[in-house]
Structure 1
Amino acid sequence: MSDAADPLALAARAGLPAEFLYLRDELPRDRWTGLHEVAAHWLQMHASFRNHQAHMNALVARWRADDDLSALHRQLTPALQAFLQHLDGHHRVESGHYFPMMRGVEPRIAAGLDLLDRDHDAVHAHLEALFRSGLAFHRAVSGSAPDARDHAARLADTLAAAGPPLARHLDDEEDIVIPLIQLRGLPQG
């Protein structure tokens, strides 16, 4: 089934289906206090991704307002590189370590974890597009190419396109993972 035909595809969904939310229904967001250290760290990581994305969006907005291409390059290039590395590493740890562990702790949520793994693939496609667009922008500015502003605009558009699916994924992942950790725990060792 193509992503366009899959109502659970990251680009298509507006939230998780009810069958994946039974743990969150038991522990709604407004009761996420006194969290297990792993759950608290998870939320901190997600907050850092949201803040990093907001920072990059602010840099783009500033560039659109003042047209200072060199300032955009100087500030956005390292910010983008750090964001891409941080998010890719985070997803690798989730998919390679935490999700398999969580499947054992709460087998009923395996389909939800599978969906989050598929989300990682969709998000990775956006990360790849951001990397390619960021590299093209860097090369254009470094080489004083006459179309450097066009590359900046394409990077800005690619960044804007990545925002909504990443936000959807972060919210949905929290709705599965945080209650799971709080209510079922994680294996020791």
Structure 2
Amino acid sequence: MSEAAGPTLADRTGLPADLLYLRQIFPRERWTTALHPTAAHWLQMHAGFRDHQAHMAALTGRWRNGALDPTGLHRALIPALQAFLQHLDGHHRIETGHYFPAMRKMEPRIVPGLDLLDRDHDAIHAHLETLFHAGMGFHQAVGSGASDPADHADRLADILDHIAPPLLRHLDDEEDIIIPLIALRGDPTG
């Protein structure tokens, strides 16, 4: 990893100071009032991803505690997982294909931060692929009447646990770059 590229999502604990210059002007404490509608919508979308991730974690926690059998976990988790995967993939496609190019023009100084977020999207996409395949394996194990779908449920639960920290890190870091930019400069696409 080169210093110019910045830290990877896997080893990042926050953003480098040079990418936080807009957040210093418009800190998180001010994000609760009079936000630009696009910034407010962005935060609402991210809150939805956090809630969805927490819901899936609660379901796998209930599985691990014995409160759900494989069929019960399947009935609750698979639809939630499908919605989460579709929603997050679509959100990232809109950001990378639509918003980020406009933001690059609006604020050239933030380009390294947008590059970092694009790399995050690639890393998260790889996690989503792994999660999709684990979900499909669990779904097929339950649907086929496999003798023990519990192994597939455990694998899916472990993968959900594994991807949560980098996903949550990305959401926080993206907000630290994007929300102040939109709040201070407006919707780059409008």
TM-score by length of 1: 0.95
Q: Map Cα deviations across residues 94-147 of structure 1 (whole Å, 9 max, x no partner).
A: 000000011111000001000000000001011001000000000001111123
Gaps of 5+ in 1: none
Tell me how far apart the structure 1 counterparts of residues 189 and 136 of structure 2 sit (CA, whole Å).
42
Letter in 2 for 1:36: H
After superposing on structure 2, the runs of 4+ consecutive aligned residues of structure 1 that deviate more than 2 Å are: 186-189
Write the mapping of 1:100-179 to structure 2, written as runs, cut at 5 A: 100-179=101-180
In the other structure, the counterpart of 1:17 is: 16
Alignment of 1:35-74 (within 5 A): 35-65=35-65, 66-74=67-75
Q: Does 1:8 align with 2:7?
A: yes
- 2:8–2:120 CA contact under 8 A, matched in 1: yes
| Range moving further from structure 2, 174-183 or 66-75 | 66-75
| Kept in 2: contact 1:36–1:182 (CA 8 A) | yes
**1:55–1:10 CA distance, 2 compared to 1 (3 A):** same
The 8 Å contact of residues 99 and 189 in structure 2, kept in 1 or not, is answered as no
Structure 2 unaligned blocks of 5 or more: none
CA distance in 2, matches of 1:68, 1:188: 47
In structure 2, C-alpha distance between the alignment counterparts of 1:93 and 1:106, rounded to whole Å: 18
Q: Secondary structure at the match of 1:15?
A: coil
Contact 1:123 1:166 in 2 (8 A): yes
Would the alpha carbon gap of residues 48 and 75 (structure 1) be closer, same or farther in structure 2, given more than 3 Å must change? same
Q: What's the counterpart of residue 34 of structure 1?
A: 34
CA RMSD of aligned residues (A): 1.4
Residues 158, 94 of structure 1: alpha-carbon distance in 2 compared, 3 angstrom cutoff: same
| TM-score, normalising length: structure 2 | 0.94
- Is contact 1:134-1:155 (8 Å) kept? yes
Matches for 1:71-90 after TM superposition, within 5 Å = 71-90=72-91
Give aligned pairs, total: 186
Q: Which has the higher contact order (CA 8 A, sep 6+)?
A: 2
Note the C-alpha offset of 1:15. Answer: 0.4
**1:7 and 1:186, CA in 2 relative to 1: closer, same or farther beyond 3 A?**
closer
State whether residues 14 and 173 of structure 2, in contact with CA within 8 Å, keep that contact through their aligned partners in structure 1. yes
Question: Residues 163-185 of structure 1: CA distance to partner in whole angstroms, max 9, x if unpaired?
Answer: 00000000000000000001122
